[in-house]
Amino acid sequence: MKKITFFFFVPLLLVAGCSGNEKTIEVYDVFDDAENRVEIREVLDSNEEIYSGTAIFIKEQLLVAVQANPWLDFKKESIEEELSKEVEKRFPDLNVLVSADYKIYWEANKLVNEEDQQKVSDQVEKLKNLIKEET
């Protein structure tokens, strides 16, 4: 009995992660600029190497937090670099920050529904410092 359960449940557990391939993209925009929103969505949508992304426009700053596809985790830095170049080309007057780090992604997703602009701005500043942290 134990063996039968084992053989039924282990393959199920192994393939449990294979469901849901939809890309989730969230944008937070205080200026309410539809053009910006469409453009950043386009950039994130066209990138094949990420499965989720969140962009935050606030006070001359653009924070883009993405999550690399499974198995591509080891080339996170090159994904960040490529995406950073692409975003900077499209938004030359904004201070762009792209990160594939889970912490940044988690905090950015919490900020998407935040009403208080000052709080978002402070938090983005804090995240910028956090990315630089080495130890």
Give residues in contact with other proteins (CB under 8 A): 101-104, 106, 130-131, 133-135
Give the torsion through C-alpha atoms of 82, 86, 92, 96, to 10 deg. Answer: -50
Whose Cβ is closer to other proteins: residue 31's or residue 106's? Answer: 106
Beta bridge partners of 62: 57, 96
Shortest separation between residue 55's beta carbon and other proteins, angstroms:
19
Q: Report the alpha-carbon distance of residue 121 to residue 36 in Å, rounded.
A: 18
Smaller CB separation from other proteins, 72 or 131:
131
Residue placing its CB nearer to other proteins in the complex, 91 or 127 = 127
Cβ–Cβ < 8 Å for 84, 98: yes
CB of 13 to other proteins, least distance (A): 11
Instruction: Kindly state the smallest distance separating residue 10's Cβ from other proteins, in Å.
Output: 9
